[in-house]
Amino acid sequence: MLSLLQPNLPLFITGHSLGGALATLAAIDIATNTTFASPTVYTFGAPRVGDPPFVKAYNCTVPIHWRIQNKFDIVPHLPTLVYHSPHTDETYFYLHVKGEVQRSFRYGSVSSNHVLSSYFLNLSEDMPQIASAICASPLGFCPNAESS
């Protein structure tokens, strides 16, 4: 699919929650193995993706990553920084990649603090004109926080 795109144009990769983790993994793969050496990544409420060597490689390979997370969203706190497996007796370390953009909002429940529409609602408070333009676009992307 990437072969259909022009490598001289910017490539944006984005995802929410598990999709944010997959966007992170895709970004380093694309930056390493395609002509798109500088993708721009936006993730929302994504969990930690890798161990310290992965994070170091990612941070050196992917130039721009905006990792937007709500401090009241549980998913960005997973997996724990240090995880000791009771099955294998191994200890694993998980870190976030660069680019943290810390947000702080509470919308009533654990799930409401995580859903993409809540991130949109919170960010739209900072940029109401941009949010209105997005909601007015023919693409119809305007998440409704009330229905989440």
Q: How many CB atoms lie within 10 A of CB 130?
A: 11
- The verdict on whether 17 is a catalytic residue reads yes
pLDDT in tens, 113-128: 999 999 999 999 999 9
For the chain, what's the residue count? 148
- CATH number of the domain located at residue range(s) 2-140 in this protein: 3.40.50.1820
- Active-site residue, selected from the candidate residues 3, 73, 89, 137: 73
What tens-digit pLDDT sequence spans the chain (148 residues)?
667 778 788 999 999 999 999 999 999 999 999 988 899 999 999 999 999 999 999 999 999 999 999 999 999 999 999 999 999 999 999 999 999 999 999 998 999 999 999 999 999 999 999 888 888 877 667 776 444 3
d(CA 2, CA 94): 30
d(CA 70, CA 106): 9
Q: Identify whether the C-beta of residue 49 lies closer than 8 Å to the C-beta of residue 65.
A: no
pLDDT of residue 23: 98
- Active-site residue, selected from the candidate residues 3, 17, 85, 147: 17
d(CA 143, CA 120): 7
- The verdict on whether 118 is a catalytic residue reads no
pTM score, two decimals? 0.88
Helix (H, G, I), strand (E, B) or coil at 118: helix
Residue 131: exposed, middle, or buried by beta-carbon count in 10 A (0-12, 13-18, 19+)?
middle
